A and B are shown apart, each in its own frame.
Chain A
């Protein structure tokens, strides 16, 4: 298992958002949620920092779908995974992109 950190830029998180994301992640095979926090930037923007413990390629694809399904409600939010940033993609699109990133 290794750690994965996902930073969702410019997103603020309510208790309802948090609960929904936690449920989605609980149902994702191979990924264990370690923590979700909000960061405070000097410019007033909040980012959501999600720390996961993951175990392999399958989890990455599923996670991509989970995050995009979650953030797609507000298309101005962005997701950053390693050097890749996505904004407002559909779940299918992000799975395709993540596959490319993972070399499949």
Chain B
């Protein structure tokens, strides 16, 4: 990788460590579920896992979106080990873009998905709310304090069955593929070179600028984020398929959850003066709901309503509890 790209990445984080591995307890769970791969789990470390994931995602994105292949050399993909949200797309000259996926967001998604899925399968409302709150506290305190102080990382439920593990892994993979496609989307939007390809992705676009304009003065930025979300949604559907309702339901659910996770994390740590971000996430949330209404053409996507009702019982109360702790920690000077 060229030196300047390495320097850019170094301002975002560092290379994944090779000495960071799953705990013995977790390794045992993986070995119990997949005994034929016992050696693989023992040797897996943060660097090898993130490299495998990134390579897998990139191959899936290009295989699902063959129209993008002619521009493959325009993109450099990298993962970064970071303590803050660093997933982004950076123009690096000569019409190329560096697409970065960061470990902080990946860890957040994995833990939130575990809380949502495993918590839903095995935990009471009360215990699941506590787990969500601890996850919100951990990640928000890292962001607020720039990693100087953090509420501890909570222990998440064990992997109990293969089916549950596959569901967790697939939800998380869909979300991370969406992230990569979103960043590719920014590169496609910014350069005239790709303009005729945008119609391949979607011939109609919808906006929620009115909502954003009520809350912020930077509608152009929100507009671009929504465009990138639309491109990402279409590209992600191309990766996994859009012909079967159950597949589209899973993609829609995973992406909707992704947006809700980001939105509610902001509720925990953003102050009332920072209303631009709330406006942006609310607009993106509204757009994804409308997008799902369009792509799930078999029926009304009742699954989204049910998901929202479920989140209202567990995730959202947890965010409000975590917010109280964060506000107290800020007031006392602890954060």
Q: Which residues of A contact B (CB under 8 A)?
A: 3-7, 12, 34-35, 37-47, 49, 51, 80, 82, 85
User: Which residues of chain B come closer than 8 Å to A82, judged between CB atoms?
Assistant: 10
**Is the CB–CB distance between B183 and A42 below 8 Å?**
yes
Partner of A42, one of B3, B179, B218: B179
Q: 9 closest pairs, A vs B, by CB?
A: A7-B11, A5-B7, A39-B90, A40-B186, A41-B88, A42-B87, A37-B91, A39-B88, A44-B280
Chain A nearest CB from B147 CB (Å) reads: 11
A39 CA to B78 CA, complexed, in Å: 15
Are A42's CB and B88's CB within 8 A? yes
Asked if B7 contacts A44 (CB within 8 A), the reply is no
**Would you give the shortest CB distance from A5 to chain B, in whole angstroms?**
4
Q: Which residues from A are CB-within-8-Å of B105?
A: 42
**Residues of A with C-beta under 8 A to B88:** 39-42, 47
Determine the residue in chain A with the shortest Cβ distance to B182: A42
CA distance A5 to B4 in the complex (A): 8
From B127-135, B220-228, B305-313, give the one contacting chain A: B220-228
Hey, which chain B residues are within 8 Å of A41, CB to CB? 85-88
List B residues at the A interface (Cβ < 8 Å): 3-4, 7-8, 10-12, 85-93, 105, 146, 179, 182-183, 186, 218, 221-222, 224-225, 228, 262, 277, 280-281
The 24 sampled A-B contact pairs (Cβ below 8 Å) are A4-B7, A5-B10, A5-B11, A6-B11, A7-B11, A7-B12, A37-B90, A37-B91, A37-B92, A38-B91, A39-B88, A39-B90, A40-B186, A41-B87, A42-B87, A42-B88, A42-B182, A43-B85, A44-B222, A44-B277, A44-B281, A51-B4, A51-B8, A82-B10
Contacting B225 at CB < 8 Å: which of A5, A7, A34, A44?
Answer: A44
| Distance to closest chain A CB from B329 (angstroms) | 20
A17 to chain B, nearest CB (A): 14
Number of A-B residue pairs, CB cutoff 8 Å, is 65
Alpha-carbon distance A35/B96, docked complex (angstroms): 13
Is chain B's interface secondary structure helix, strand, loop, or mixed overall? helix
| Chain B residue at minimal CB-CB distance from A4 | B7
Q: How far is the CB of A16 from chain B (nearest CB, A)?
A: 16
Chain B nearest CB from A34 CB (Å) reads 8
Q: Which residues of A contact B4 (CB under 8 A)?
A: 3, 5, 34, 51
Q: Who on chain A is nearest to B284 by CB?
A: A44
Chain B residue with the shortest CB-CB distance to A6 = B11
Residues of A within 8 A of B92 (CB): 37
Give min CB distance, B61 to chain A, whole Å. Answer: 15
- Are A44 and B90 interface neighbours, CB within 8 A? no
Residue among B7, B179, B228 with the highest chain A CB neighbour number at 10 A? B7
- Which residues of the other chain, B, contact A38 by a CB distance below 8 angstroms? 91
Q: Distance in Å from the Cβ of A12 to the closest Cβ of chain B?
A: 7
CB atoms of A43 and B262 under 8 A apart: yes
User: Closest CB of chain A to B284's CB: distance in Å?
Assistant: 8
CA distance A51 to B90 in the complex (A): 12
Least CB separation from A53: chain B residue: B4
- Expressed in whole angstroms, the Cα–Cα distance for A3 and B255 within the complex equals 39
Q: B74: shortest Cβ distance to chain A, in Å?
A: 15
In the bound complex, CA of A4 to CA of B3 (Å): 10
How many angstroms between the C-alpha atoms of A48 and B178 in the bound complex?
A: 24
Give Cα A73 to B105, complex, Å: 30
Complex alpha-carbon distance, A40 and B183, angstroms: 7
The CA-CA distance from A37 to B89 in the complex, in Å, is 11
Beyond the given A46-B221, A51-B7, please list 16 additional residue pairs across the A-B interface where CB-CB is below 8 A. A3-B7, A5-B4, A7-B8, A12-B218, A12-B221, A34-B4, A37-B91, A40-B224, A41-B85, A41-B86, A41-B88, A42-B183, A43-B87, A44-B277, A44-B281, A49-B8
